Structure 1
Amino acid sequence: MSKQQPFLPVTVVNQTILEEPFGVSIQDILLKLPRGVYSVARSVTTNSILLFESHIDRLRKSDKNIFKTLSELTQDRNNLKELVLKNLQIALRKLIEINEEDQIQKKSVLIFISDRDTFSQQEKGTLNKTFLSKRLLILIHVYPIMKVPNSIKVQICGQARKQPNTKDTKWVSERKKFIEKRSIGVGEILLANKNKELTEGATSNFFIIMNSKIYTSPDNTVLCGITRKLTIKVCKKMGMKIIYKNPKIDKIDQWEEAFITSSSRLVLPIDSVLYEKEEGQLIEKTLDSPKITRNIRRNLIKQMEIESYVIDL
């Protein structure tokens, strides 16, 4: 039996396939690109994307939040959608050409846009590539979804974001210092505000279950992820009450379950939380079996098929 070849990623910039595609570390990619706005989507099948329209809306919202007005790329929503789709079609066709079909059902899709005239020289990226000479930049990078564990350990050690509603590459460099502080075995960092209330993860949204209710931060205090949006919809369909309130660290002993959401991890139970109770003293809180969280995840996966957008190839 022949060994299956590794998943080969594809990078398309302004409708041109790069001969040397980027790798699988999105943080490394975004740190090298010019400043811009981005969204990370997830496929449901070979040619369908989960909540694709929501990703287009996110790009426009992030663009407006940064510059207080829409750029040339994002002014016309239909035009932006068409341009993204053209690049995405090219990427998916190439992906099918160079990979085995059963490898590419589940994948992540980075959608990045930038209008480089708005940025300082320091913000224009470090990649010495021909395409970076272009002022308007649309980049699609398709890469494998990394294997996700059954649960995750998190650590509270980051500060809540000042501009949380924006998916801006500037945040990628800012959050790096929090991620580098995490202890061994920690898979995600949780951010807290000055009142010791938890807002979101460095790369995810955050939920707790307490008194059989779902708690998550108010929409205006976090980046409202696409998977978060779908998770809330699923929880409501399950008859669960959603309370939009920042979970407090000092109530951690009352948490029944906790989980994070993101495009790559979907709904992922938290098995333990590492936090600083007193200066320099780290405490680890272990959470109970995530029965409710796993049920939410199962229902989310079912809902994904309904919410997918088919890309014509």
Structure 2
Amino acid sequence: MRWGLLLLSRRALRQPYPFREMSTSALIIEQLNPLANEQDAKFNIATGNTSFKDFILAYPSGAYTGMRTVHRDSIVEFNTHMNRITNSVSQLFSKDKKAESVMSPFRDVKQFEAMAVPMLKKGLEAYYNTVDETTHSSHPFEAKVSIVVTYSSEKEAPLFAAHFSQLHSIPSDKRVKVDIEQESRKAPEVKDSQWVRDRSQLEEKKSSEINEVLLMDDHEQLYEGIASNFLAVKMVNDKAVVMCASLDHILLGSILKIVLTLCEKHHIDFEWTFPKLQDARDGKWVGCFITSTSRLLLPIETIYFHDERIEFKESAPIIEFLRSQVSKEIYNGAYKIL
């Protein structure tokens, strides 16, 4: 078996977990028979130190998504993640007739949700009981949850698994430094795990003080981060306008979706237009920020591009307002798993 895992049925998982390892940081659950009904489902479960990246790279390229818990029992923007997987599966396996047929249940949101929820429930229970050392503390951590859905041409069958690890809290006043690379991303609207492979070189190049790498084209138009969305704020007639590359160029992240909702709710102007690096140089931005599942909304302190450095002395009030609102909004509509 891929992970050298313990084979369990759903019924067996109700018993205490006997396979706790010392110094473990992650749990992986894989359904061995993804097309089986809930009563007949069988799982592999393993604890260890497998990172998200290594987890993704252990499988053939396929659809994936990264989620987070709130209150340790619910998933933020769960429907967004379910739609992301099904949309990606629809596009990734459409050219292979065998794969297209076998992967059919993973293209339907209702069918996929019916498969995903029971597996996430078992995985989250096992993670909290066997891995998470904060479970019985006064301030337990939230969990980062990643799902991969792909196809094995060797087995002519789907592969369906999830990875659970600790989601570290971020100080409410934290700002970050980012780097810029002139790179592009193919099919950004598809959450393809091949991107995890492609971005590895960019991740390895960045220094430890750099939180994110932004992608930019030859016209110095900024797209998104390698694992985040990127937004900038300019002032037009004394009114803040939030800018982001349009959705035909980027993937709509779950936290970006929340930002859109907040802008509409609070009558903040939003434009689907490329933020341009030259405008940052010319002081036309009051600030910029990134959004992602694990980091929520983080204002940017410094942008680096080659030997150039653009600094924002303080976080703009509009960005701090959005940050505080995002932190509250993630609880609204979260999907209860446990």
- Fold similarity call, TM over 0.5: yes
Where do 5+ consecutive residues of structure 1 fail to align? 122-132, 277-281
Distance in 2 between residues matched to 1:146 and 1:139, nearest whole Å: 22
CA deviation after TM superposition for structure 1 residue 185, in Å:
1.8
Aligned to 2:124: 92
Aligned to 2:53: 27
Kindly indicate whether residue 86 of structure 2 is the aligned counterpart of residue 60 of structure 1. yes
CA deviation after TM superposition for structure 1 residue 249, in Å:
1.1
Q: TM-score, with normalisation over the residues of structure 1? A: 0.85
CA deviation after TM superposition for structure 1 residue 28, in Å:
2.7
2:314 partner amino acid: S
Aligned to 2:64: 38
Query: Greater shift after overlay, 133-142 or 107-116?
Result: 133-142
CA deviation after TM superposition for structure 1 residue 31, in Å:
2.1
1:64-75 alignment, distance < 5 Å? 64-68=90-94, 71-75=103-107
Question: 2:263 is matched with which residue: 235, 255, 261?
Answer: 235
Aligned to 2:319: 293
Question: 1:195 is matched with which residue: 219, 232, 249?
Answer: 219
CA deviation after TM superposition for structure 1 residue 32, in Å:
2.5
Aligned to 2:39: none
Aligned to 2:274: 246
2:142 partner amino acid: K
Question: 2:203 is matched with which residue: 179, 185, 188?
Answer: 179
Asked whether the equivalents of residues 170 and 295 of structure 2 are also in contact (C-alpha less than 8 Å), the reply is: yes
Q: Any idea what SS the aligned residue of 2:199 has? A: helix
Asked whether the equivalents of residues 69 and 75 of structure 2 are also in contact (C-alpha less than 8 Å), the reply is: yes
CA shift digits 1:248-296 (9 cap, x unpaired): 11111311111000000000010000013xxxxx111111311322211
Kindly indicate whether residue 138 of structure 2 is the aligned counterpart of residue 106 of structure 1. no
Asked whether the equivalents of residues 290 and 298 of structure 2 are also in contact (C-alpha less than 8 Å), the reply is: yes
Question: 2:158 is matched with which residue: 122, 136, 150?
Answer: 136
CA deviation after TM superposition for structure 1 residue 104, in Å:
4.9
Larger CA Rg, structure 1 vs 2: 2
Ranges of 4+ aligned residues in structure 1 off by more than 4 Å: 5-8, 101-105
Question: 1:259 is matched with which residue: 283, 289, 306?
Answer: 289
1:78 partner amino acid: K
More helix by share: 1
- The structure-2 alpha-carbon separation of the partners of 1:6 and 1:231, relative to structure 1 and needing over 3 Å to count, comes to farther
Aligned to 1:148: 170
Distance in 2 between residues matched to 1:52 and 1:104, nearest whole Å: 21
Query: Greater shift after overlay, 212-221 or 60-69?
Result: 60-69
Q: Any idea what SS the aligned residue of 2:309 has? A: strand
Query: Greater shift after overlay, 292-301 or 68-77?
Result: 68-77
Q: TM-score, with normalisation over the residues of structure 2? A: 0.79
Identity of aligned residues (%): 24
Q: Any idea what SS the aligned residue of 2:116 has? A: helix
Asked whether the equivalents of residues 35 and 169 of structure 1 are also in contact (C-alpha less than 8 Å), the reply is: yes
Asked whether the equivalents of residues 87 and 107 of structure 2 are also in contact (C-alpha less than 8 Å), the reply is: no
Aligned to 1:207: 231
Where do 5+ consecutive residues of structure 2 fail to align? 1-21, 32-41
Distance in 2 between residues matched to 1:104 and 1:65, nearest whole Å: 38
- The structure-2 alpha-carbon separation of the partners of 1:247 and 1:92, relative to structure 1 and needing over 3 Å to count, comes to same
Aligned CA-pair RMSD: 2.2
- The structure-2 alpha-carbon separation of the partners of 1:9 and 1:162, relative to structure 1 and needing over 3 Å to count, comes to closer
Distance in 2 between residues matched to 1:183 and 1:22, nearest whole Å: 23
